[in-house]
Structure 1
Amino acid sequence: MATLVLDNGANTAKIGFSHEAVRVISNCQFRSKTSRLKTFTANQLDEIKDPSGLFYILPFQKGYLVNWDVQRKVWDHLFGKEMFKVDFTDTSILITEPYFNFTSIQESMNEILFEEYQFQSALRTNAGSLSAHHYFHTRPSELCCLLVDSGFSFTHIVPYCRSRKMKEGVRRINVGGKLLTNHLKEIISYRQLHVMDETHVINQVKEDVCYVSQNFCKDMEVAQNKAEENTVMVDYVLPDFSSIKKGFCKPREEMMFTGKYKTGEQILRLVNERFAVPEMLFHPSDIGIQEMGIPEAVVHSIQSLPEEMQPHFYQNIVLTGGNTLFPGYRQRLEAELRSLVPAHLPVSVLQPADPICYSWEGGKLLAHNPDYDEMVVTREDYEEHGHCVCEDKFDL
């Protein structure tokens, strides 16, 4: 039986059969300014000639799957002829869901997977559990790891011991990629140009120019310098979707420090926004979110665990999720943890080569595990016992 691994994130779905490579596809629908009547789904974004003013229709709100109509359309597209050609009569699905998911959402998911799509078996788990499985598979001598999963809606800190989640140590920070993009839109709209409708473009700007500062105060001083002495300042050329399909940073030697460009390029000048936006991950209180930053939450999580295990967690901190791709993220987190953790305890923060697909790769490994058939709920089990068999089987 084939196994379809689906890491169903709030922003992107990481999907692929366990014997194939992964594909990362937008988990949403779009409407564009130019063709408002037509709705585009998932990877059909490439068909939109002018993605400025894109309107996103998301199945997830605040990290939880609430819009089943949109999610069904995305799944129909993914499972259909154009994409994965899923034969439901001979396929098992391994799918992720958020931590502490609501029972009503879990029951709806069971119904849709077994009754509508009629998968032969299913395994529901957290993306973090798959990441932990991946980590312990590659480092079999390790007993513990602490996942820092910073995604679209939230940042979660989750400790695992021998692939078991330690629920008392789970911490959530309500800062994710969506909030960072929205905050950047507000700053740019206030300072330069109204971009509140340009989520797609500004998300690209964020990914291209933002970084995590190693010394916030020092970078703020540099950002106040004039002209060439201001090494933080970049000029970002916005796409016009005819001659410029994708935005890019001007090379430093081409930057006009007078701020005047002769060509028809539309320029965003970005200075302290570059590091002030990702700083929210470390200091959410900067924008009025009264919560701990990631370093404090890591320490808080580990201190809630048995004392003899704590050194093992500090030595095995694993970063996953899209926000970990900001340059300087790993170094800053390690430096801040070093200042918070007792000097005799070693601190080690590991960043995988592909933090976005790390959990999917863990799911792929799990699908090939000899015990996989013991973990799933089959369609016969579900038809006989209903939702309660899923609750018993899936340790969430």
Structure 2
Amino acid sequence: MEETHLINDVKERLCYVSLDFDADLALTRFRGKKNTIRREFVMPDYVNSMRGTIRDPNAPAEPAAAPAAAGGGAREEGAPPPQKKGRVPADRAEEQALSLSNERITVPELLFHPSDIGLEQAGLPECIVQAAEACPPDMREALYANILVTGGSSRFPNFEERLQRELRALVPSDLPIGFTAASDPTLAAWRGGSIFAAAAEYDSAVVTKEQYREEGHALCRRRFAGA
């Protein structure tokens, strides 16, 4: 599927961070009502609907139309014929729907275990620890206590709770862990960059393409590492 904006909508509305990945993954292997994770994303047709809708396939079906009054009167003129048991309604038969089960949890899980798709990289908790431990020891307590949660994927349900749990297992027990959530995590990084670019200190804090071509990496080391 090449509709990037549509798939992004599916991700944002249906994916969540699992607090017990193995147990939830086991649930997705069931069929029918035992699979409480499965959801359907009904695609918009851009005629009657401009945005997809979410449907729980285990939800009770809509009640059938009331039977004809006693006496066996004829069906009301213009009324649709009664649906036979088990038949899919015509409007639903024409729908296009994505069925999501394990995808709801396996996509966000990559933030914590990128190795699931063959990426030899650390997960987010490990990256935070690596960044903090690369700083002077007397700064680490303050860093762990002031972790800024930002980025669109931080809006997944359970994200912060899962991150807290996994960090707690990696960070020394005597150091508190604290989170601050950005007011708009999706745009926070862009807004920070925009503010920085408008600041008077910007020109002295960056290396332009022309400067890099002339002096190379040595300029970066002098300016940013004091080497």
* TM-score, scaled to structure 2: 0.70
Cα distance in 2 for residues equivalent to 1:277 and 1:334: 19
Q: Which residue of 2 aligns with 1:237?
A: 42
Does the residue aligned with 2:41 lie in a helix, a strand or coil?
strand
Distance 1:209 1:255, change over 3 A: farther
Percent identity over the alignment is 38
* 2:154 counterpart of 1:324: yes
Contact 1:238 1:265 in 2 (8 A): yes
Q: Given the alignment of the two structures, is residue 253 of structure 1 paired with residue 83 of structure 2, yes or no?
A: no
User: How far apart, CA to CA, are the structure 2 residues paired with 1:246 and 1:347?
Assistant: 39
Q: Aligned pair 1:201/2:6, yes or no? A: yes
Shift, 1:199, TM fit: 2.8
User: Larger Cα Rg: Structure 1 or Structure 2?
Assistant: 2
Give how far 1:226 is off.
Answer: 3.5
**Aligned partner (choices 111, 114, 118) of residue 281 of structure 1:** 111
**How many residues were matched structurally?**
189
8 A Cα contact 1:238 1:248, kept in partner = yes
Q: Which SS does the other structure have where 1:219 is aligned?
A: helix
Q: Does 1:336 align with 2:166?
A: yes
Gaps of 5+ in 2: 63-85, 213-218
Name the counterpart of 1:225. 30
Question: Are 1:311 and 2:116 an aligned pair?
Answer: no
Give the structure-1-normalised TM-score. 0.42
CA distance in 2, matches of 1:387, 1:270: 50
**More strand as a share of residues:** 1
The 8 Å contact of residues 208 and 248 in structure 1, kept in 2 or not, is answered as no
Distance 1:374 1:313, change over 3 A: closer
Q: Residues 320 and 241 of structure 1: is their aligned pair in 2 closer, same or farther, counting only changes over 3 Å?
A: same
Structure 1: runs of 5 or more not aligned? 1-194
- TM-superposed CA distance for 1:364, in Å, is 6.4
User: How far apart, CA to CA, are the structure 1 residues paired with 2:60 and 2:106?
Assistant: 25
Matched residue type, 1:352: A
The residue that corresponds to 2:216 in the other structure is none
Q: Is the 8 A contact 2:196 2:202 kept in 1?
A: no
The answer to whether the 8 A contact 1:220-1:272 is kept is: yes
The Cα RMSD (Å) is 3.2
Distance (whole Å) between structure 2 residues aligned to residue 212 and residue 343 of structure 1? 24
Give 1:203 deviation, angstroms. Answer: 2.1
Aligned-residue offset at 1:266: 1.4
Amino acid in structure 1 at the alignment position of 2:179: V
